[in-house]
């Protein structure tokens, strides 16, 4: 039995998993590595929040999934904001850099996120008495 308590192996494996996750973002969304690296921390936090939400709902602490999906959907706007900013025209490092005057501001991204969550809760309210 080895008494090696060095944690460097865990760091190497974690770094490899993060690199694969970032490469997946690059290949799926077609963005440069810098944009994908900016997206990874928010996406990991969203995945952790989703896991905690599912766990709490499984333990019947938080209620049903139908109570929280609009918030998780609205949070995806904030998580994917670097990718959406890149697609909207904010391509950093290119010679003809044009940033949209309204989209890159965090207040507009928060407003879109809250609007999507409100629309989700409105849809939930509209469908409240329809059981098939």
In a domain, 59, yes or no: yes
Is it the case that residue 1 has pLDDT exceeding 60? no
Is it the case that residue 118 has pLDDT exceeding 90? yes
In a domain, 63, yes or no: yes
In a domain, 131, yes or no: no
Burial environment of residue 81 by CB neighbours within 10 A (0 to 12, 13 to 18, 19 or more): buried
pLDDT tens figures, 49-105 = 888 888 887 777 766 766 788 888 888 888 888 888 887 765 555 666 666 655 656
**What range does the domain containing 95 cover?**
8-126
Number of domains in the chain: 1
Q: Give the integer Cα–Cα distance in Å for 21 and 90.
A: 23
What is the reported pLDDT for 119?
A: 93
pTM greater than 0.85: no
């Amino acid at each position: 039995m080895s008494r090696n308590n060095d944690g460097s192996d865990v760091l190497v494996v974690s770094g490899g998993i993060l690199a694969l996750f970032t490469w997946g973002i690059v290949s799926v969304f077609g963005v440069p590595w810098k944009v994908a690296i900016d997206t990874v921390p928010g996406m990991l936090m969203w995945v952790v929040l989703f896991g905690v939400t599912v766990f709490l709902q499984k333990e019947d602490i938080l209620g049903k999934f139908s109570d929280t999906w609009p918030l998780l959907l609205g949070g995806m706007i904030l998580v994917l904001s670097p990718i959406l900013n890149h697609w909207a025209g904010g391509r950093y490092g290119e010679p003809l850099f044009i940033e949209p005057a309204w989209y890159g501001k965090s207040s507009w991204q928060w407003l879109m996120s809250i609007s999507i969550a409100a629309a989700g809760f409105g849809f939930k309210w509209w469908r409240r008495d329809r059981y098939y």
